[in-house]
Amino acid sequence: MEPLTATTLLHSAASSQLRAISPPPSPRIRAKGAFSMVSQGTERKVLTGTMREETAQHMRVPYMQGDFAGEFSYGYSWVGQVEEGPKEWLGAWVHLLHPHQTHAWVEEKDLYRIPEGVTPEGATLASNMETAVNALWDGQVMPGDRVLIVGMGLIGVLVGLLVREIPGVEVFTTDLADQRQQLAQQLGFRCSAEPEFTAAFDVAFHTSTTTSGLQAALDAVGMEGKVVELSWHSQPTNGLVLGEDFHYLRKQIISSQVSTIPPSHQHRWDYRRRKDLVFKLLPRLPLKALLAHRISFWESPQFFDQLRQGAPTQLTTFIEYS
């Protein structure tokens, strides 16, 4: 029998709270939540309202309740196990785009069956890994390229782990936070507070969401070098210098956004094929290092209240529903 309610995490500009909700009236597949990933940068911007109204409409997620002007639910990398639905789905572990919630009632088309070899915890990284894969397609990194990653949060780390598997690529990374520098070094990256290089880079990936970080990436690439911009700048990038070097060296800034597959791949790839690739890549990740900070769903309002106050120091945070 279906539970009479589920518990969802609702946000407003001032606070976060748990609230019981009823299932939808139309029959859907029901899954019980196990884990969900917090996209710390994006969700902090959503919580603090630092985005324009037209941008907010793009940031809505499937099965989101409410709207950003009032109370709303949010989240987009949710993992659970099917409890009710078609026979072929019963007991299946699934990944889907869904806000943080104890149970999900969803359409079959929105479920992705987690394959063998991928743990439920590891599957929470799928949405972020899609972003990293898209970034590599946008950057078109070639064997032997010199690559700089500015910002070693989760997206920067995932991009680095992927790009260093390309033969001959040299990867340098930078982050201002000591804790992230240390983690990057533990994962085998050269990492410092300032870019270290003796020659210009071919490609830079920028993930720090700061004007100074974007400037550092632009300054580091050489003639016709590419900067792949993964940050979401909710505020104007005041002070960015696009002077002689940028203009005469024909440097490029490429916007990379996961909701659109790059033109170089659109004719052959769709979202399902990209997700199949992501789940083949997930078992190769150092999950112990990437999933070090877990919180209970029942304590999540306190975490999100803290997130409003400042950027987190930990690399990732994922929610456990048990």
Q: 13 falls in which pLDDT band (50, 70, 90)?
A: confident
Output the CA torsion sign for 299, 305, 311, 313.
negative
Each residue's pLDDT tens digit, 241-251: 888 799 999 99
Answering whether pTM is above 0.75, one says: yes
Instruction: Tell me the C-alpha distance between 126 and 297, whole Å.
Output: 20
The reported pLDDT for the residue numbered 265 is: 96
Has residue 187 got a pLDDT over 60?
yes
Average pLDDT over residues 284-310: 94
Each residue's pLDDT tens digit, 194-214: 887 778 999 999 999 899 999
Average pLDDT over residues 135-163: 97
Q: Where in the chain is the domain with CATH 3.40.50.720?
A: 131-261
Report the topology of domain 6-124+291-320.
Quinone Oxidoreductase; Chain A, domain 1 (3.90.180)
Instruction: Tell me the C-alpha distance between 54 and 40, whole Å.
Output: 21
Q: Is 284 exposed, middle or buried (0-12, 13-18, 19+ CB in 10 A)?
A: exposed
Instruction: Tell me the C-alpha distance between 171 and 158, whole Å.
Output: 13
Report the topology of domain 131-261.
Rossmann fold (3.40.50)
